[in-house]
Amino acid sequence: MSMTDGHIYFDIDLFAKGRRPAINTFLSVTRVGRQTQTNLRRTILRELSSFLTLRERIENFAHFGAENSSTIKNTLLTGDQVIAFFDQTSEVVLEINLQIFLFALIWYGLWRNKSIEQLKQDMTNIMIAYETKPDFRKAVSQLAEKEESLNSLLTAIGKSATKILQDAGVKL
């Protein structure tokens, strides 16, 4: 650690895999990040960090050719979806409430039986609706701002996401 507030570690191996931005979150450091986040963001960060560590271990183990159980397959699929969510072009900037909403949809399992291409297309449709439909933007923002933890957010997503998306005309 140094006197700075932290540093971001860019990883050439992640870049070679096509991940953009190629930030290694496990080696990057922040001293103030947790202090500036809401409880919901902290719980998402904790869950996501643990999950990505688990996914990396499973991915390394799977290379040995062992037969994968359904739990391992689901973990790898969810991991691929999370990585696809994080892949972004330099032109795309998502507001934090939309990021939280999209992540919650993935974590809830909305795209469990769909391809990464379908996930990306659906996320694009949701982003367009968020930019063009004020009622949808308001509903997403209210959902992301009122929940205090990932568990309560997932419960709310289970109860209301389908209706919110249908009201906005987003078909998944």
The region that residue 21 occupies, defined by phi over 0 for left and psi between -120 and 50 for alpha, beta otherwise, is beta
Cα distances (Å, whole numbers) of residue 77 to 64, 116, 136, 142, 150: 18, 9, 28, 29, 20
Q: What pTM was estimated for this model as a whole?
A: 0.78
Q: How far apart are CA 158 and CA 162, in angstroms?
A: 8
Task: Sketch out the chain's domains with CATH numbers.
Answer: 1-36 (no CATH), 37-167 (1.20.150)
Place of tokens 């949808």: 136
Q: How far apart are CA 61 and CA 95, in angstroms?
A: 36
Tens of pLDDT, residue by residue over 2-32, are 445 666 778 888 888 777 777 777 777 666 5
What is the reported pLDDT for 89? 74
DSSP reduced 3-state for 40: helix
Q: Which residues of the chain have pLDDT under 50?
A: 1-3
Tens of pLDDT, residue by residue over 30-50, are 665 556 677 888 888 888 888
